[in-house]
Structure 1
Amino acid sequence: MVGFKPTDVPPTAAVKFVGAGTAACIADLITFPLDTAKVRLQIQGENKVAVEARTAQYRGVFGTMATMVKNEGPRSLYNGLVAGLQRQMSFASVRIGLYDSVKHFYTKGSEHAGIGSRLLAGCTTGAMAVAVAQPTDVVKVRFQAQARMEGGRRYQGTLDAYKTIAREEGVRGLWKGTSPNITRNALVNCAELVTYDLIKDALLKYNLMTDNLPCHFTSAFGAGFCTTVIASPVDVVKTRYMNSAPGQYGSAVKCALAMLRKEGPLAFYKGFTPSFLRLGSWNVVMFVTYEQLKRAMMAARGSREAPF
């Protein structure tokens, strides 16, 4: 075939699905300490007795990480990593890998998707991903917050965490916080994917950049900042509610109201700096890796299918 290039082959849904999950795992491996610091900062202050009993207070993202390393060892920064990787393989594969397919479904196959179709696709895949991956998210958050528990570690391992939660709180405990998580991830997905989509399209449309690494980096960084600003309040409530003891809060809404009453509106932006550092760097690593994986997999597929 004259002029055939392997990269001309459009990526399939399977390639996007696998590529998104793999890229998200790579991003998590690199940025997980920032996520753990974010969780510690978000839960700080929810229990005044526990906070006053502690000698170490967390101050800032790097101060939090330094305190954790000093008091708990370097491995504490990766508490919950196994559940985190399980989450990304099931979560990112759906919300990112299926985004284009769902977007084309809403536009009935048209290549020109409006902002409404993009937002609807982001909400849809975000909600679908939560329904699949919620138990892994609950376990990840519990592990990351585990140091605040007195009398030993809360869970001894990832499998033990799943079993213990199901035994003590019922199967519904594994889906604790689903409502705020759906809200959060609908916002995150829309802000993240739609912003990335729009920034990348604008850069290419006005010939400011070509479809290459600098373009992917710029689009991902912008998406990370927008996502952090929009999603932080819901993310804090989600983290608090998921980590709470049975009966501590009646619902996610009551959790939010308790935060507002006891700590004020700024409580909803606790951990903003690590959230941005984490989401910004996570987006850059994930989207750049995702774009390269898609190209590599489609190049390999195109090479196999190319006529000799």
Structure 2
Amino acid sequence: MVGHTASDVPPTMAVKIFSAGVAACVADIITFPLDTAKVRLQIQGECLTSSAIRYKGVLGTIITLAKTEGPVKLYSGLPAGLQRQISFASLRIGLYDTVQDFFTTGKEASLGSKISAGLTTGGVAVFIGQPTEVVKVRLQAQSHLHGPKPRYTGTYNAYRIIATAEGLTGLWKGTTPNLTRNVIINCTELVTYDLMKEALVKSRLLADDVPCHFVSAVIAGFCTTVLSSPVDVVKTRFVNSSPGQYTSVPNCAMMMLTREGPSAFFKGFVPSFLRLGSWNVIMFLCFEQLKRELMKSRQTMDCAT
């Protein structure tokens, strides 16, 4: 990201990738119930039976889930979620500065180079981490209340069943909407955070420290949620669908629009923002501090030797 670190030596690419992966995992563990609530609200409307449980609001969804299926259900799919952060967030965030430098021709990075970096790292990370996304969403969405037994008994069981029943391509189901979603998220999240942090530091409103990182992360989280919500809902519906339920991603979007209206594309917006906003704050604060501490430790070790 923009700005000087606490040490005189900028963090290496390996430090950035490691810090991004750890910070993303910490953020995921803390905010995972909000993500589960978001998924349940997004798929609400697919089950048209009168006996289906209706979720109302973020807190209502979390409480209803905890009461009807147990508190542990709020963390269903967490192992896949952590695998996703390790394979996905570590690359899209950790490689952002390096790729941005590659696209930068002058002394300072332009908006175009920042966007290009976000597009590149987001796209590459999606293809690598898509199977973890598919498993995470399906485990979060499945409920023992809607059938005699759940589709999957656990994370690795889900990988095996999906690969067996739907082929290896089933693990990459929904790559197109997820690619669109994550390109939007990556560009908006990282570029907005970068620009806000740079503006606050250059205008001397805030120093390059925790308050600056906090404000930049909140603004980045809100902008990202607004732009990515419609694609996120379609992605969740398509990834969670049974084989043959939707013929394509556009068909999924059209059926949503026809059956539920335009508001369906913003289902789960509040938990999406609460989750993405809080995730951004936790991740960026941990990321920035972890980078600094690792580089300080490295400098100390270099001095000692």
The two structures have a TM-score, normalised by structure 1, of: 0.95
Aligned: 1:118 with 2:114: yes
What amino acid is aligned across from residue 267 of structure 1 in structure 2? A
Could you give the per-residue CA deviations for residues 23-78 of structure 1, whole angstroms, max 9, x where no partner exists? 000000000000000000000002323xx232x21000100000000001100100
Letter in 2 for 1:131: F
Aligned residue for 1:282? 279
Distance 1:134 1:295 in 2: 30
1: CA distance between counterparts of 2:51 and 2:166? 27
* Structure 1 residues 111 and 285, CA gap change in structure 2 (3 angstroms): farther
SS at match of 2:133: helix
Q: Give the aligned partner of residue 15 of structure 2.
A: 15
CA distance in 1, matches of 2:111, 2:258: 36
Q: How many residues align?
A: 300
Q: Which residue of 2 aligns with 1:272?
A: 269
Q: Deviations over 1:160-209 (max 9, x none)?
A: 00000000000000000000000000000011000000000000010000
Aligned residue runs from structure 1 range 24-43, under 5 A: 24-43=24-43
Residue 134 of structure 2 corresponds to 138
Q: Distance in 1 between matches of 2:100 and 2:138?
A: 34
Residues in 2 aligned to 1:45 and 1:299: alpha-carbon distance in whole angstroms: 51
Q: Give the corresponding residue for 1:240.
A: 237
Unaligned runs of 5+ in 1: none
- d(CA) in 2 for partners of 1:137 and 1:236? 14
Does 1:304 find its partner at 2:301? yes
Aligned residue number for residue 89 of structure 1: 86
CA distance in 1, matches of 2:82, 2:193: 23
Q: Establish whether residue 216 from structure 1 lines up as the match of residue 217 from structure 2.
A: no
For 1:122-157, what per-residue CA distance to the aligned partner results, in whole angstroms no more than 9, with x for missing partners?
011111010100000000000000116412111111
Q: Could you tell me whether the CA contact under 8 Å between 1:192 and 1:226 is conserved in 2?
A: yes
Identical amino acids, percent of aligned pairs: 61
Tell me how far 1:6 sits from its aligned partner: 7.4
Matched, 1:293 2:290: yes
- Structure-2 separation of matches of 1:307 and 1:170: 54
> What is the letter of the counterpart of residue 274 of structure 1?
P
Q: Is the 8 A contact 1:6 1:300 kept in 2?
A: no
Indicate conservation of the 8 Å contact 1:61/1:274, yes or no: yes
Alpha-carbon RMSD across the aligned residues, in angstroms, is 1.3
Task: Name the CA distance, whole Å, in 2 between partners of 1:119 and 1:285.
Answer: 23
The match for 1:72 is 69
Amino acid in structure 2 at the alignment position of 1:250:
T
One of 192, 197, 201 as aligned partner of 1:195: 192
Q: Please, what TM-score do these two structures have when normalized by structure 2? A: 0.96
Moved over 6 A (4+): none
How far apart are the structure 1 equivalents of 2:6 and 2:185? Answer: 33
| Range that drifts further, 139-148 or 276-285 | 139-148
User: Can you give the 5+ residue segments of structure 2 that lack an aligned partner in the other structure?
Assistant: none
Q: Distance in 1 between matches of 2:6 and 2:282?
A: 24
Encode CA deviations 1:53-111: one digit per residue, 9 max, x unaligned.
32x21000100000000001100100100000000011001110000111101114x55
- The whole-number CA distance in structure 1 between the counterparts of 2:276 and 2:63 is 20
CA distance in 2, matches of 1:85, 1:156: 18
**Quick check: 1:164 aligned with 2:170?**
no
